[in-house]
Amino acid sequence: MQGDLERILFHETTILSRLDQIAAQITKDYAWKELTVIAVLNGSLVFMADLMRRIQLPLRLDCLSVASYHGRAQTSGEVIFKQIALPDVQDRHILILDDILDSGHTLAAIREKLQTAKPRSVKVCVLLSKKKTREREIDADYLGFEIEDEFVVGYGLDYDERYRNLPCIGVLRKDMIKSGDE
């Protein structure tokens, strides 16, 4: 699997020490308020599991399932919510977790939808953010790493549902991406 990478960007140890810092910041910022983490499936699963165990706050977890990529390496712009009921977020401090901020469509749509359920506050935490002009206006309140505009996999991130179990994050070799997906 690792042979399908053009190069490794972040080793597991680098990711985990960054998570120590982010979790400490979140713990400090919310200072014993109860936090509701909303993880965006499936990409944020590994990130969520490692991050939430480092946050020292009373914490609830909910997951949201959306699709915007349909197994391709380009965003379609359309965000489909895969469940009918939204998590109960009224009067709660919400922290939305996602793997990567790319065009911004996914997180903007999720934040908009959750706002309608009247949470007390909403913040966004992403592991990665691509340096590019977003199609939707959205910024992360907590960010792991900024990366160039390249297609990356591993540590939860997939290409066509593969590579999520790679412990590191790396740039996928161009020849592994199906033509038409670029």
Q: Among all residues, which ones are annotated catalytic?
A: 102
154 binds Mg ion (CB under 5 A): no
Cα(152)–Cα(149) distance, integer angstroms: 9
Task: Say which entry of Mg ion, ligand IMP, none residue 142 contacts (CB below 5 to 8 A, set by partner kind).
Answer: none
75 binds ligand IMP (CB under 6 A): yes
Cβ nearer to Mg ion, comparing 50 with 158: 158
DSSP code string of 89-153: -TT-EEEEEEEEESSSHHHHHHHHHHHTT--SEEEEEEEEEESS--SS----SEEEEEE-S--EE
48 binds ligand IMP (CB under 6 A): no
Cα(62)–Cα(70) distance, integer angstroms: 23
Coil, strand or helix at 34? coil
43 binds Mg ion (CB under 5 A): yes
- Residues near Mg ion (CB under 5 A), total: 2
In this structure, what token pair is assigned to residue 179? Answer: 């033509």
Task: Say which entry of ligand IMP, Mg ion, none residue 103 contacts (CB below 5 to 8 A, set by partner kind).
Answer: ligand IMP
Q: Which residues, listed in sequence order, are joined to residue 139 by a DSSP beta bridge?
A: none
Residue 163 beta carbon to ligand IMP: minimum distance, rounded to whole angstroms: 9
38 binds ligand IMP (CB under 6 A): no
Question: Near Mg ion by CB under 5 A, which window of 32-40, 42-50, 103-111, 138-146?
Answer: 42-50
Q: What is the DSSP pairing of strand 5-10 with strand 35-41?
A: unpaired
In this structure, what token pair is assigned to residue 5? Answer: 């990478």
87 binds Mg ion (CB under 5 A): no
In this structure, what token pair is assigned to residue 94? Answer: 């919400």
Q: Which of 69, 72, 164, 176 binds ligand IMP (CB under 6 A)?
A: 69
151 binds ligand IMP (CB under 6 A): yes
Q: What is the DSSP pairing of strand 59-67 with strand 80-81?
A: antiparallel
> Which residues in this chain contact Mg ion in the complex, by CB under 5 A?
43, 158
Q: Which residues bind ligand IMP (CB under 6 A)?
A: 43, 68-69, 75, 98-106, 151-153, 157
